[in-house]
């Protein structure tokens, strides 16, 4: 897990969370875990 943190700048995680909040607010019916996983290229467990 620490290796992942070294690959990305520290602010990228905050940026992803803000982007997720905007993405979720733009969808009237909400978003699925699958959509989140695909958008951020992460596993369902991480999403």
Token digits of residue 16: 């992803």
Please state, for a pLDDT cut of 70, what percent of the chain lies above it: 79
Q: How far apart, in whole angstroms, are the C-alpha atoms of residue 22 and residue 6?
A: 26
pLDDT at position 12 is 79
Q: Where are the domains of the chain?
A: 2-40
Low-confidence ranges of the chain (pLDDT < 70): 1-10
pLDDT at position 29 is 93
pLDDT at position 1 is 46
H/E stretch holding 13 reads helix 11-25
């Amino acid at each position: 897990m620490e290796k992942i943190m070294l690959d990305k700048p520290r602010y990228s995680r905050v940026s992803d969370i803000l982007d997720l909040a905007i993405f979720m607010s733009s969808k009237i019916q909400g978003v699925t875990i699958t959509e989140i996983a695909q958008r951020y290229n992460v596993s369902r467990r991480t999403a």
